[in-house]
Structure 1
Amino acid sequence: MHHAPVVVHRILPSGGRLVTLRTPNGEESLGLARSDEDVIEFLRRAGMPDPDDVVLGGSGLLDWQGDTPHAYEADPPTGDLP
């Protein structure tokens, strides 16, 4: 089974998504992204070629987990407010 080398984890309750890089020794944290620009910068710093294309071009190098790709803010709670 193939795993994308970069994981963009589910949105945190406070907003933002943890971005990790899969390595032979586990996962390395690249940072907390609050935008596509953050993910691009993390990948650039990690030495990935063409990080803009990787993030914005629908590359198979990213594994967007749990939420809509390119979304970074938690949905507001639903239901009646007191």
Structure 2
Amino acid sequence: MADDQPVVIYPPDEDGGRRVRIDGTILGRAYSVQDVAAFIQTAGLPSFDEMDVVRSTLIDWRGGGPHVWSP
């Protein structure tokens, strides 16, 4: 992970969930772009929405981009 990408979204698991890590801490599993936005909002960026998730360079998408939710 690059230092300028504090958010890591891991590859989807067998249930379609993707672990979400922000600033080195696993916050949980997301099942959609909306879930990722909610994690980022909770982490301190309350105005971050789904379009920001799709476009952001702060996010390191591993195992597929924001439209991949199955293994």
Calculate the TM-score normalised by the size of structure 2. Answer: 0.80
Quote how far apart the aligned CAs of 1:46 are.
Answer: 0.6
Q: How many residues align?
A: 69
* Bigger Rg, structure 1 or 2: 1
Give the CA RMSD over aligned residues: 1.7
Calculate the TM-score normalised by the size of structure 1. Answer: 0.71
The answer for the alignment partner of 2:17 in structure 1 is 16
Determine the C-alpha separation between the residues in 2 that align with 1:68 and 1:45.
Answer: 21
Query: Any gaps of 5 or more consecutive residues in structure 1?
Result: 75-82
Q: Which has the higher strand share?
A: 1
Determine the C-alpha separation between the residues in 2 that align with 1:10 and 1:61.
Answer: 17
Aligned identity (percent) is 38
